[in-house]
Structure 1
């Protein structure tokens, strides 16, 4: 049986921390974790033709990822982000403009991948520039059989109501955290409360699943007829970088395997909790978390 083929579509970048730098970007993190958990995760992105870009590609290969759909940009640098981690291990980010992933292009390898993908995860950040936004939606249009997961991933002011609405219309699944839900509730005048707000988004945009993560307060999965609400459990947090992306990867695997929502929620939360105990977005995943 072929493993589930899922694409992380969007940014690859370096998280620059006070003492080090680590490879990341939500779509790249998603692809890594899906691969590490037993699927076939593939990034579709763009890096600069520079030292950081070549180092990123080399590291992705070492991590076991296929990089055929990661293009080189001769004119723009590899993306970086200033990641700052507070005393609770929670990261905030500052993103420079006009970097390689802002100019994402799709070659035949990427278009073939779109046609064959079982799932695609994309966010709002990689759509901040017109070139990459067009590429994201072209890829989604070509991914006719794929489950399309919009991990909203709000960063700074790199989004508009129109961008978010178009992405929701293109998606089957919404993944959002509690702070982002507050923002989206204001932007779209949604009814107050988690479930009413999520139900309104599902109805307006034809979503089949809405997923809310609340950090240490647990996670909520909603389908048309099922609610799976899981309370949080305390873990020793090193940092939260990549935990949400690991949750999404586990979610996609469980959903495409047609697990009950409660089982999906427990598994995804377990994977995310483990990532919180490790430094960086792409730690080695223990065998007991893999779906071999």
Structure 2
């Protein structure tokens, strides 16, 4: 138990140290921007990891909740005069309620049936955001009001670097703490075997729904943060390709690993920036690297490297 607590706090300390040190190593607005994208994507991936990596449920439409959070901070101030920070909270509530209402029927499904159902949810959200142009600006998107806190107008890539970094540390802390709670243990039991979990007295339907709602709220907060940071949003953020990106981050980093979700997001966001020097071959190389990584690290980057390090220290 003490070892788990120590590992949890060590992870948080290392993450906080990385967030604190990076600006000194890469002191430019471009790197602040890229790092902020990593932090936001990692936050959404951590939530999806709770659903997929811990509870063992598949979602191919998770970007829909990301889009709800993003458009909440755009529509709220523009159409209702709601402050952006309050719109962010409203987006979380809407995402959580939608996940609860939709999750009750679709989480009875399993495997590829569940994947298709969640895909349909994501497509439906993206379709609404695209067609309801009176509220959302349609395919062209819409501007997002600046965040104002205590009279301070939040702007600048460096400021958003620290805000998104702080959100990531907070989200990581919550996810790591969840692991050792009765809820976290119930999630892992679901992942191992729903039948065994049911025999052990675990309310399978309730804990599936909890994981789905938690993942939706994480995605909503991440979407709101990205929209406020960019000052603009369009329906692509709620689209299928973005859902695939989030799933790839979780799987690439390592299912069930909170750190893996962060690493997966970092790789998938920064690698395309590095590969731009190859111009038209950029996407080809990116796909090749991901394929090779999954062939040789089937459990994901972090679990594979952790086992290799453990074997090395034991020998």
Tell which structure's C-alpha radius of gyration is larger: 2
User: Which structure carries more helix by proportion?
Assistant: 2
Q: Structure 1-normalised TM-score? A: 0.30
Q: RCO higher in 1 or 2 (8 Å CA, sep ≥ 6)?
A: 2
More strand by share: 1
TM-score relative to the length of structure 2: 0.29
